[in-house]
């Protein structure tokens, strides 16, 4: 069958199989059958979700965009790169729409509207109250700078990346945050109707960029969105950072021991676990430490020393803090979650964050500072912190609340706090939280490395999902380990965990502070022990992958809220502070952000919102 | 001006399937945003927009992959692709570097394209292409995540390629049973094709044998404006202006396009006469504006008495090998599999 592309051009929906020989005829038939409902499979494999039936329309948008970009030339399009916030590039159709809308008012299409002018539709972006979507919603003092810049003429606008990273330093909290005097004062604007109006316009714009057939905030994701283009749930990313001979023998021994445990051959397992100890000594660096922790965990499993003494709270706090300092994972988690929360809270006068992972509250100073600096003035900020009971009867949740209250006072943010002690998140009921009507107070629910623990008890996660929906949150920010440590087969879990923690430990090697590093290793070692040695309700470190969490959230009636290129960029710049950023990388995955070490994703931040039936504040745009 | 653009767009759409047109046009427009007039590159946005896929130690369609940190100093990663065997359905980390078992196993070191500035080894388009090569050639494929311009100029990409080649050559588990040697082929598209040439040169001069070079739409150029450049400028996704930008970004500051990296057989190039050099398979797309340079490259090899096969795909545009929906794709894949034979 001779290839004839002209023929195909008149029939765009069957353009899938361009050139075909006889052998490809079958493909033609299959594709033809899928025409109206299916994704273009070839593009899906390459990371782009385009429905076959939309192909011609997408092509048209590309043509329009090219024309407009051609006319606008360099100066006119540089803002598309530097200021526009991009979302979910996989959804080509929506991405193109959002690009096109940068040149045109939302409601009308005028390809020549931007020609030679800097005013017109850019009005909303020039407005001092709005300051452009990319800049006003960042967590840095850059806000003020850029608001001023916006007042000037719009010209070739190339952001100076070096100065950005200087400003970011101020936003990164460390232990010092509690003693530091903040240097900046929040702007006080009259909360005018124009401010609100412009914020609404901006919100509408953002909705526009995320709405669409598969990524609408208000529509539940169809199952296809989860799996199309992505290989099945069991993707096992591995990066080998240590190719030394000893390293390989050590891994062999660990795997052999785990296999013996799997087969319940405990005598063999015991012998092997002793061997691992010897091999580990001869190994240097991260591999030795990882092997040691895994060996210990295996030994516990073999000798049935399942129960660990529950960690004293002050010790676990200390470990957590050191982990926070030693490497960027927690900072990334807080940073990206805060970014999403900040954007969700735009225009809201009263906000309420419910934190499932309160710990020492390290996530919140940065958010509070960003809220303090917000154009239009800070909202009233309420924080509900949830944590496990402490063993020494100290009310540590309250202490944390006190410190945050002091900070709030310094930065002039109206602050309210409540601490909740709960053994499990599943013990919570919405009625306990003193929720106020959503027209009055906007809610964000935040969970960093906590949700997976619920998978240890049947029904717990579903209970929590339903309670979260009752909170009617604007946004639910979730950070979880990007790994499947909850498989049914022990050996699989062991293998996954070995890959995962080897990579994580390797990334710690570059830590500046020895103490931070060692404490972090202990912190992670506890997780390793739990994954390998424990079972049943004791095994709480039940990490699951993004694909799995997407399924869970989707089934529970949540829709994704996408994180954009501004969060991506800021997170990337944050990483540069750690070891020059060498080795760390941020990746965008269908609206979620992943932090990885040498291309192996290790943690993922995702954001969600209850599906359409709960809110009706905006219309779905097409 | 709008008018002539219209003509261009329509011509372009006539020669490729619609989804290919969408794919490459999307790259084109996104890339326009990333290149700044002052020569800097919007790396953050580039990484955000690039569609990437993780390595997968679980076999998919008979191929599994894993990443290896080859050089910590430069954070040089490579992604290794191997055929899954029936006996090893579930591989653990110790099994990933299990020795190859066949008499002869070609190892293809692959350099992805992107004009020296774009893409990565874990870009979806290149992950897909490398997976194909595994089955096609019954080979192990090593895709090198070389450092990119403009942050890293010449000779970084070549250095990284050379580092990767030395690493591959010294892996006991990659040695073919027949002669306990690693059977190395180099392959690459666009800038990757350019890297293939230069790394092969370094290799042969250093005494490491490369069995064959595969150059897909290789990126070469020169100061002169050739006939094809003028005729095809802006017609099929690529403009001279963007080509110039990428060379300015890669070549040392102040150098022009007759630098030997860009123009290996030009005024600053060198003859390969009498030098041991691998046989080459060079694929040229008939609608690629730089084809005159690519054809000159083939000529240069021939004149030096080197073995080279030219595949001139008349109606092909850049990127035709990214989607298996056209005849050029199948023709080229066939030729590649014949080129990488399990002999010698």
Q: Which of B19, B67, B80, B322 best tests the A interface by mutation, with the highest count of A CBs <10 A?
A: B19
Sort out which chain A residues have CB atoms less than 8 A from B26's CB and list them: 48, 62, 92
CA-nearest residue of chain B to A250? B94
- Segment B305-327 shows an average pLDDT of 96
Tokens in use for B329? 């794709």
Q: What is the pLDDT of residue A277?
A: 83
Closest approach of chain A CAs to the CA of B80, in angstroms?
A: 10
Instruction: Select the residue of B15, B37, B128 nearest A46 (Cβ to Cβ).
Output: B128
> For residue B12, is it within any domain?
no
pLDDT tens digit sequence for B164-221: 999 999 999 999 999 999 999 999 999 999 999 999 999 999 999 999 999 999 999 9
Answer yes or no: is pLDDT of A206 > 50.
no
Maximum Cα–Cα distance across chain A: 81
> For residue B91, is it within any domain?
no
The answer on A451 and A368 residing in a single domain is yes
Bridge partner residues of B263 (DSSP)? none
The answer on A277 and A386 residing in a single domain is no
Helices then strands, each counted (H, E), chain A = 23, 10
Pairing of the two strands A600-610 and B183-189: unpaired
| Sheet bearing B106-111, strands edge to edge | A239-240, B63-71, B76-83, B140-144, B106-111, B183-189, B212-216, B279-285, B308-313
Sort out which chain B residues have CB atoms less than 8 A from A18's CB and list them: 16-17, 20, 325-326
- Segment B106-119 shows an average pLDDT of 98
Q: What is the pLDDT of residue A419?
A: 93
Q: How far, rounded to the nearest angstrom, does the alpha carbon of residue B269 sit from its chain's CA centroid?
A: 21
The answer on A388 and A284 residing in a single domain is no
Tokens in use for B12? 């372009």
Closest approach of chain B CAs to the CA of A395, in angstroms?
A: 43
Does the interface ipTM go beyond 0.85? yes
Answer yes or no: is pLDDT of B132 > 60.
yes
* HSE toward the beta carbon, residue A130, CA cutoff 13 A: 21
Model confidence band, residue A503 (pLDDT cutoffs 50, 70, 90): very high
> For residue A477, is it within any domain?
yes
> CB-based contacts of A567: which residues, under 8 Å, 6+ apart?
A335, A336, A339, A340, A593
CA-nearest residue of chain A to B124? A46
Closest approach of chain B CAs to the CA of A291, in angstroms?
A: 13
Of B78, B123, B143, B190, which residue is the catalytic one? B190
Residue A315, burial from CB neighbour count under 10 angstroms (0-12, 13-18, 19+)? exposed
Region for residue B199 given its phi and psi (left: phi exceeds 0; alpha: psi -120 to 50; beta: otherwise): alpha
Inter-chain residue contact B66 with A238, CB threshold 8 Å: yes
**Where are the extended beta strands (E) located within chain B?**
63-71, 76-83, 106-111, 140-144, 183-189, 212-216, 279-285, 308-313
Q: What is the pLDDT of residue A105?
A: 58
Q: What is the pLDDT of residue A524?
A: 96
> For residue B59, is it within any domain?
yes
Overall size of chain B counted in residues: 344
> For residue B33, is it within any domain?
no
Answer yes or no: is pLDDT of A154 > 60.
no
For residue B254, what is the domain's CATH number?
3.40.50.1820
Q: What is the pLDDT of residue B96?
A: 85
The answer on A475 and A552 residing in a single domain is yes
Answer yes or no: is pLDDT of B20 > 70.
yes
Tokens in use for A512? 């500046």
> For residue B5, is it within any domain?
no
> For residue A15, is it within any domain?
no
Q: Does A437 touch chain B (CB under 8 A)?
A: no
Q: Which residue has the higher pLDDT, A587 or A18?
A: A587
The answer on A390 and A419 residing in a single domain is yes
The answer on A368 and A391 residing in a single domain is yes
- Segment A404-423 shows an average pLDDT of 95
Tokens in use for B328? 């050029």
Inter-chain residue contact A568 with B34, CB threshold 8 Å: no
Closest approach of chain A CAs to the CA of B116, in angstroms?
A: 19
Q: How far, rounded to the nearest angstrom, does the alpha carbon of residue B160 sit from its chain's CA centroid?
A: 14
Question: DSSP class of residue A231?
Answer: P
- Segment A204-226 shows an average pLDDT of 33
Range of the domain at B159: 38-83+98-342
Answer yes or no: is pLDDT of A78 > 50.
yes
Q: Does A239 touch chain B (CB under 8 A)?
A: yes
Whole-angstrom Cα distance, residue B315 to residue A442? 58
The answer on A381 and A283 residing in a single domain is no
Answer yes or no: is pLDDT of B280 > 60.
yes
Q: What is the pLDDT of residue A178?
A: 35
Inter-chain residue contact B92 with A86, CB threshold 8 Å: no
Pairing of the two strands B63-71 and B76-83: antiparallel
> For residue A565, is it within any domain?
yes
Helices then strands, each counted (H, E), chain B = 10, 8
Count other Cβ atoms within 10 Å, centred on residue B61. 11
Whole-angstrom Cα distance, residue B307 to residue B318? 25
Answer yes or no: is pLDDT of A140 > 80.
no
Inter-chain residue contact A235 with B56, CB threshold 8 Å: yes
Closest approach of chain B CAs to the CA of A426, in angstroms?
A: 34
Q: How far is CA A532 from CA A90, A186, A307, B181, in A?
A: 37, 49, 12, 40
> CB-based contacts of A436: which residues, under 8 Å, 6+ apart?
A350, A352
Closest approach of chain B CAs to the CA of A213, in angstroms?
A: 18
CA-nearest residue of chain A to B122? A599
**Selection from A613, A569, A374, A605 nearest residue A476 by Cα:** A605
Q: What is the pLDDT of residue B243?
A: 98
Whole-angstrom Cα distance, residue A33 to residue A18? 16
Instruction: Select the residue of A47, A50, A238 nearest B93 (Cβ to Cβ).
Output: A238
**Where are the extended beta strands (E) located within A398-485?**
415-421, 442-448, 475-481
Q: What is the pLDDT of residue A29?
A: 47
> For residue A564, is it within any domain?
yes
What is the DSSP track for A557-611? TEEEE--BHHHHHHHHHHHTTTGGGTTEEEEEETTEEEEEETTEEEEEEEEEEE-
The answer on A447 and A582 residing in a single domain is yes
> For residue B6, is it within any domain?
no
For residue A351, what is the domain's CATH number?
3.40.50.150
By mean pLDDT, which of A226-235, A377-386, A415-424, B83-92 is the weakest? A226-235
Answer yes or no: is pLDDT of A111 > 80.
no
Model confidence band, residue B340 (pLDDT cutoffs 50, 70, 90): very high
Answer yes or no: is pLDDT of A283 > 90.
no
Active site residue B337: no
Q: Does A66 touch chain B (CB under 8 A)?
A: yes
Bridge partner residues of A420 (DSSP)? A386
Model confidence band, residue B310 (pLDDT cutoffs 50, 70, 90): very high
Q: Where are the alpha helices (DSSP H) in A424-513?
A: 460-470, 490-508
Q: Does A151 touch chain B (CB under 8 A)?
A: no
For chain B, give the mean pLDDT. 93
Sort out which chain A residues have CB atoms less than 8 A from B325's CB and list them: 16-19, 42
Q: What is the pLDDT of residue A120?
A: 31
> For residue A358, is it within any domain?
yes
Residue that has been written with the tokens 């159709």 in this structure? A93
Q: What is the pLDDT of residue A188?
A: 35
Pairs across A and B, CB distance < 8 A: 210
Q: How far is CA A318 from CA A47, A509, A577, B126, in A?
A: 41, 19, 22, 44
Range of the domain at A261: 243-303
How many distinct structural domains can be found in chain B? 1
pLDDT tens digit sequence for A311-325: 666 788 889 999 998
Percent of chain B, pLDDT > 90?
88
- Whether the CB-CB separation of A531 and A293 falls below 8 Å is answered with no
> For residue A270, is it within any domain?
yes
Sort out which chain B residues have CB atoms less than 8 A from A585's CB and list them: 47
H or E element that contains B250: helix B240-250
Model confidence band, residue B10 (pLDDT cutoffs 50, 70, 90): low
Query: Could you give the angle at the alpha carbon of A323 between the alpha carbons of A521 and A308, nearest 5°?
Result: 55
Q: What is the pLDDT of residue A109?
A: 43
Q: What is the pLDDT of residue A17?
A: 38
Model confidence band, residue B14 (pLDDT cutoffs 50, 70, 90): confident
> For residue A433, is it within any domain?
yes
Inter-chain residue contact A502 with B93, CB threshold 8 Å: yes
How many distinct structural domains can be found in chain A? 2
Residues 155-194 of A with CB under 8 A from B: 156, 158, 161
Query: Could you give the angle at the alpha carbon of A586 between the alpha carbons of A582 and A592, nearest 5°?
Result: 165
Model confidence band, residue A209 (pLDDT cutoffs 50, 70, 90): very low
Instruction: Select the residue of A43, A65, A158 nearest B29 (Cβ to Cβ).
Output: A65
> For residue B22, is it within any domain?
no
CA-nearest residue of chain B to A13? B18
Tokens in use for A531? 């994954």
Inter-chain residue contact B93 with A43, CB threshold 8 Å: no
Q: What is the pLDDT of residue A11?
A: 39
Maximum Cα–Cα distance across chain B: 62
The answer on A428 and A575 residing in a single domain is yes
The answer on A440 and A362 residing in a single domain is yes
Answer yes or no: is pLDDT of A409 > 80.
yes
pTM over 0.80? The answer is: yes
- Whether the CB-CB separation of B194 and B251 falls below 8 Å is answered with no
Q: How far, rounded to the nearest angstrom, does the alpha carbon of residue A539 sit from its chain's CA centroid?
A: 25
Q: How far, rounded to the nearest angstrom, does the alpha carbon of residue A60 sit from its chain's CA centroid?
A: 32
Tokens in use for A407? 């900070």
Sort out which chain A residues have CB atoms less than 8 A from B46's CB and list them: none
For chain A, give the mean pLDDT. 76
Q: What is the pLDDT of residue B3?
A: 46
Question: DSSP class of residue B123?
Answer: B
The answer on A467 and A324 residing in a single domain is yes
By mean pLDDT, which of A510-519, A536-545, A594-603 is the weakest? A510-519
Whole-angstrom Cα distance, residue B58 to residue A254? 20
Sort out which chain B residues have CB atoms less than 8 A from A16's CB and list them: 17, 19, 325
By mean pLDDT, which of A10-19, A60-69, B217-226 is the weakest? A10-19
> For residue A560, is it within any domain?
yes
- Whether the CB-CB separation of A591 and A578 falls below 8 Å is answered with no
Answer yes or no: is pLDDT of A187 > 70.
no
Closest approach of chain A CAs to the CA of B188, in angstroms?
A: 18
Q: What is the pLDDT of residue B251?
A: 98
**Selection from A495, A485, A502 nearest residue A544 by Cα:** A485
The answer on A599 and A559 residing in a single domain is yes
């Amino acid at each position: 069958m001779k290839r004839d592309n002209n023929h195909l051009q008149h029939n765009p929906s069957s353009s899938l199989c361009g050139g075909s020989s006889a052998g490809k005829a079958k493909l033609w038939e299959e594709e033809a059958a899928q025409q109206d409902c299916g994704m273009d499979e070839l593009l899906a494999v390459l990371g782009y979700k385009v429905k076959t039936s939309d192909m011609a329309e997408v092509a048209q948008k590309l043509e329009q965009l090219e024309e407009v970009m051609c006319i606008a030339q360099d100066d006119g399009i540089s803002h598309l790169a530097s200021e526009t916030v991009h979302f979910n590039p996989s959804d080509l159709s929506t991405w193109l729409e959002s690009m096109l809308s940068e040149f045109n008012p939302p409601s009308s299409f005028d390809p020549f509207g931007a020609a030679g002018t800097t005013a017109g539709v850019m009005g909303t972006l020039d407005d001092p109250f709005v300051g452009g979507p990319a800049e006003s919603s960042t967590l840095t003092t850059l806000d003020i700078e850029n608001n001023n810049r916006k007042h000037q003429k719009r010209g070739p606008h190339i952001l100076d990346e070096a100065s950005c990273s200087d400003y970011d330093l101020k936003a990164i909290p460390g232990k010092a945050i509690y003693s530091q005097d903040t240097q900046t004062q929040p702007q006080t604007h009259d909360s005018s109707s124009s401010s609100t109006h412009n914020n609404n316009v901006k919100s509408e714009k953002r909705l526009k960029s995320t709405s669409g057939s598969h990524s609408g905030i208000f529509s539940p994701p169809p199952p296809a969105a989860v799996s199309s283009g992505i290989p099945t749930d069991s993707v096992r990313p591995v990066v080998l950072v240590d190719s030394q001979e000893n390293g390989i023998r050590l891994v062999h021994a660990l795997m052999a021991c785990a296999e013996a445990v799997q087969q319940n051959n405990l005598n063999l397992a015991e012998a092997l676990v002793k061997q691992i100890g010897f091999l580990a000594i001869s190994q240097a660096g991260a591999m030795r430490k990882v092997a040691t922790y895994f060996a210990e965990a295996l030994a516990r499993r073999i000798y049935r020393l399942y129960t660990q003494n529950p960690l004293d709270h002050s010790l676990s706090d200390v470990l957590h803090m050191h982990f926070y300092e030693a490497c960027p994972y927690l900072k990334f988690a807080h940073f990206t979650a805060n970014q999403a929360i900040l954007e969700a809270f735009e225009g809201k006068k009263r906000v309420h964050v419910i934190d499932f992972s309160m710990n020492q509250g390290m996530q919140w100073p940065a958010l509070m500072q960003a809220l303090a600096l917000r154009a239009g003035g800070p909202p009233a900020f309420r924080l509900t912190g949830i944590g496990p009971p402490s063993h020494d009867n100290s009310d540590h949740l309250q202490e944390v609340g006190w410190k945050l209250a002091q900070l709030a006072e310094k930065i002039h943010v109206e602050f309210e706090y409540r601490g909740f002690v709960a053994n499990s998140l599943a013990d919570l009921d919405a009625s306990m939280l003193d929720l106020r009507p959503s027209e009055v107070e906007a809610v964000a629910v935040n969970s960093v490395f906590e949700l997976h623990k619920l998978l240890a008890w049947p029904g717990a996660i579903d209970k929590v999902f339903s309670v979260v929906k009752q909170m009617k949150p604007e946004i639910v920010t979730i950070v979880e380990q990007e790994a499947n440590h909850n498989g049914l087969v022990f050996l699989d879990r062991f293998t996954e965990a070995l890959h995962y923690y080897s990579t994580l430990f390797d990334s710690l090697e570059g830590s500046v502070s020895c103490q931070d590093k060692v404490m972090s290793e202990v912190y992670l070692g506890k997780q390793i022990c739990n994954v390998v040695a424990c079972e049943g309700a004791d095994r709480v470190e039940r990490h699951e992958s993004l694909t799995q969490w997407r399924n869970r959230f989707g089934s529970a009636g949540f829709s994704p809220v996408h994180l954009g290129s501004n969060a991506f960029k800021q997170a990337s710049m944050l990483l540069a502070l750690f070891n020059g950023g060498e080795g760390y990388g941020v990746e965008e995955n269908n609206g979620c952000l992943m932090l990885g070490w040498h291309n192996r994703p290790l943690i993922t931040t995702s954001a969600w919102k209850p599906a359409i039936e709960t809110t009706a504040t905006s219309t779905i745009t097409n | 001006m709008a008018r002539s653009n219209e003509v261009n767009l329509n011509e372009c759409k006539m020669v490729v399937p619609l989804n290919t047109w969408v794919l490459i046009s999307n790259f084109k427009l996104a890339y326009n945003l990333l290149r700044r007039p002052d020569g800097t590159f919007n790396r953050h946005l580039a990484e955000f927009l690039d569609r990437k896929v993780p390595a997968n130690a679980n076999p998919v369609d008979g191929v599994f992959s894993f990443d290896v940190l080859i050089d910590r100093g430069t954070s040089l990663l490579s992604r290794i692709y191997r055929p899954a065997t029936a006996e090893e359905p579930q591989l653990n980390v110790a099994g990933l570097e299990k020795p190859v078992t066949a008499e002869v196993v070609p190892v293809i070191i692959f350099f992805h394209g992107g004009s020296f500035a774009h893409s990565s080894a874990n870009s979806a388009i290149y992950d897909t292409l490398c997976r194909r090569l595994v089955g096609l050639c019954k080979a192990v494929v090593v895709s090198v995540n070389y450092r990119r311009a403009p942050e890293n100029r010449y000779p970084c990409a070549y250095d990284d390629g050379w580092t990767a080649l030395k690493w591959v050559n010294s892996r006991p588990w990659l040695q073919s049973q027949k002669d306990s040697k690693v059977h190395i082929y180099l392959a690459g598209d666009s800038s990757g094709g350019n890297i293939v040439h230069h790394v092969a040169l370094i290799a042969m001069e250093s005494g490491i044998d490369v069995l064959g070079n595969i150059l897909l739409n290789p990126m070469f150029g020169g100061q002169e404006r050739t006939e094809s450049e003028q005729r095809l400028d802006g017609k099929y996704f690529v403009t001279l202006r963007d080509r110039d930008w990428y060379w300015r970004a890669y070549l040392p500051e102040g150098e022009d396009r007759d630098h030997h990296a860009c123009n290996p057989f030009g005024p600053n190039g060198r003859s390969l006469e009498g030098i041991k050099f691998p046989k080459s398979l060079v694929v040229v797309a008939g609608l690629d504006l730089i084809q005159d340079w690519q054809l000159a490259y083939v000529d240069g090899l021939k004149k030096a008495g080197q073995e080279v096969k030219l595949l001139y795909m008349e109606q092909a545009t850049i990127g035709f090998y990214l989607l298996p929906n056209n005849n050029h794709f199948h023709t080229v894949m066939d030729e590649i599999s014949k080129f990488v034979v399990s002999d010698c």
